[in-house]
């Protein structure tokens, strides 16, 4: 399983290669992807999540994207990272726009 995780992380970094130098760090059993030491994407369980805010989250919801979440005290906690919809992954131009937007999200 570890090999698959490394391969998927490398696949994600290749997708984001247009951003130039990126770094990663292990986080909660997945990986965070950083640009200039700021996390803008997460890779967990074979899915890629991008950072959102109140202005950008609507387009993720419109495409039925799910948030990265975890359970705490029998409660689901949703993070500000939403899965990249398949429609976006399949469209290089849109993917670039969404990823750049995530790097600029506060």
Q: How far apart are CA 98 and CA 69, in angstroms?
A: 20
Q: For domain 2-103, give the CATH number.
A: 3.30.1460.30
SS3 label, residue 23 = strand
pLDDT in tens, 28-80: 889 999 999 999 999 999 999 999 999 999 999 999 999 999 989 999 999 99
34 forms beta bridges with 23, 39
Domains of the chain, residue spans: 2-103
pTM over 0.85: yes
What average pLDDT does range 85-91 have in this prediction? 96
Q: How far apart are CA 96 and CA 91, in angstroms?
A: 9
């Amino acid at each position: 399983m570890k090999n698959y995780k490394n391969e998927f992380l490398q696949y994600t970094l290749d997708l984001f290669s247009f951003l130039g130098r990126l770094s990663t760090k292990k986080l909660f059993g997945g990986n965070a992807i950083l640009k200039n030491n700021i996390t803008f994407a997460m890779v967990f369980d074979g899915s890629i999540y991008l950072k959102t805010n109140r202005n950008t989250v609507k387009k993720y919801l419109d495409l039925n994207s799910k948030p990265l979440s975890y359970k705490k005290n029998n409660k689901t906690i949703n993070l500000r990272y939403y899965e990249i919809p398949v429609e976006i992954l399949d469209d290089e131009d849109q993917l670039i726009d969404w990823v750049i937007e995530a790097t600029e999200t506060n």
